[in-house]
Amino acid sequence: MVGTARPVFVLFGSSIVQFSYGVGGWGAMLSDYYSRKDAATHPALVIVYFGGNDSCSQDRSIAHVPLPEYYENMNKIAAHLKGLSETIRLIFLTPPPVNEKMVTKYFGDCGRTNERCRMYAEACMKMCSEMGVTCIDLWSVFQQQREDWQTAYFIDGIHLTSEGSKVVGNEILKVIEESEWEPSLHWESMPCEFSGVTLFDTLGYNHFLNSSLP
């Protein structure tokens, strides 16, 4: 019987979070890594993503949230989550960049530009620094990974391909692995829920899949 005290990893955000549970998504990737882990004594992890929709220009989209208000909202979210427990772990994700040509093609002129995403990404990082919260700068990471990031990482200019999701998932796993959280939430440090020999090694299987691709 599955244990009743498993920790909950919460992914909180917009459609980029919603889409992350599709095939090849970063939410599905994290679920895969942690699927057999037992962590009755481990604290929860909350991953927060907002800012992409907020960054749309005011005269082009009803989703627009002014930068000062976005900063205040994110600050309130961080303060609320930190106040829930001294052991809760938080990771905030900045808005990633966008492929502006694809955005216009699929969504029209919604005022969502790479420059506006940068402004909201910097606001998110500033808030996290002041609140002592871990932040992953997706806006910078995406553009540093490869030259063809605009076509490799987006299906419509905003939402992520499996390659884009892999970048997000790996950045999250890197933070979890390198953090000094006690107890650790890295999947390799957790015992399996069922004792005995593990018949299926997630890491080994993923390595096999990657090495088998043309």
Q: Quick check: is 145 in a domain?
A: yes
pLDDT at 77: 93
Q: Quick check: is 4 in a domain?
A: no
Distance of alpha carbon 113 from alpha carbon 82, whole angstroms: 32
Distance of alpha carbon 74 from alpha carbon 85, whole angstroms: 18
User: Tell me, what amino acid is at 174?
Assistant: K
Residue numbers annotated as active site: 14, 156, 159
Residue 18: both structure tokens together = 């919603």
pLDDT at 179: 87
Residue (of 136, 145, 126) closest to 91 by Cα position = 136
How do residues 120-149 score in pLDDT, each as one tens digit?
Answer: 999 999 999 999 999 999 999 999 999 999
Domain residues for 30? 9-212
Contacts of residue 173, Cβ cutoff 8 Å, sequence gap at least 6: 30, 33, 186, 187
Q: Provide the CATH number for the domain around residue 100.
A: 3.40.50.1110
Predicted TM-score (pTM) of the model is 0.74
Q: Quick check: is 3 in a domain?
A: no
Q: Quick check: is 192 in a domain?
A: yes
Distance of alpha carbon 136 from alpha carbon 134, whole angstroms: 7
Q: Quick check: is 1 in a domain?
A: no
Distance of alpha carbon 192 from alpha carbon 188, whole angstroms: 9
pLDDT at 38: 47
Distance of alpha carbon 25 from alpha carbon 79, whole angstroms: 28
Q: Quick check: is 207 in a domain?
A: yes
pLDDT less than 50: residues of the chain? 1-4, 36, 38-43, 197, 199-200, 205, 208-209, 211-214
Indicate the DSSP class of residue 97: -
Distance of alpha carbon 75 from alpha carbon 81, whole angstroms: 10
Residue 148: both structure tokens together = 């063809």
pLDDT at 20: 61
Is residue 25 exposed (0-12), middle (13-18) or buried (19+ Cβ within 10 Å)? buried
Q: Quick check: is 135 in a domain?
A: yes
Kind and range of the H or E run holding 93:
strand 89-93
Q: Quick check: is 149 in a domain?
A: yes
> How many residues make up the chain in this entry?
214
Residue 57: both structure tokens together = 């220009």
Looking at the structure of the chain, the number of domains it has is 1
